[in-house]
Amino acid sequence: MANERRIHPRSDTRIPTTLRCGGSGVEGVVENIGAGGVFFSTGDLEVPVEAGTAVQVELHLADGRTSANAGVVLRSDRYFDGSDVRRSFAVKFDAEIDVASLGIGA
């Protein structure tokens, strides 16, 4: 059994999201979210973002709102999701968020 390192529970989701670093951004989805961070994935395999990079996570919510949250990339990986190769980023938020207030779960 793997050790769970997360402090906050996560909710599975598929939120359209822009991950921004400096002046550039990449489109993708948040696959899960918790008060302390997100798991973001994209089909763009060449995103020049690595562990330790400061980023802005812009969640595009179903009600038309955008929730922008600053954070840092903890790790980046590539994986096969059954249909294509994805680039993923585990992002820890600088400040906890109230996920329930976003209308998306926990």
Best CA proximity match to 99, nearest among 20, 28, 30: 30
Q: Which domains does the chain have, with CATH numbers?
A: 11-95 (2.40.10.220)
pTM over 0.95: no
Instruction: Calculate the alpha carbon distances from 70 to 19, 54, 96 in Å.
Output: 10, 7, 10
- pLDDT at residue 21, as a whole number: 94
Strand-strand pairing, 24-34 and 66-80: unpaired
Strand partners, 38: 33, 91
* Residue written as token pair 């696959």: 31
In the block, residue with structure tokens 């190769």: 85
- Which pLDDT score, from 0 to 100, does residue 8 have? 61
Residue 30 near residue 38 (C-beta atoms within 8 A): yes
- pLDDT tens, per residue, the chain with 106 residues: 444 555 666 778 999 999 999 889 999 999 999 999 999 999 999 988 999 999 999 999 999 999 999 999 999 999 888 889 999 999 999 999 999 888 875 4
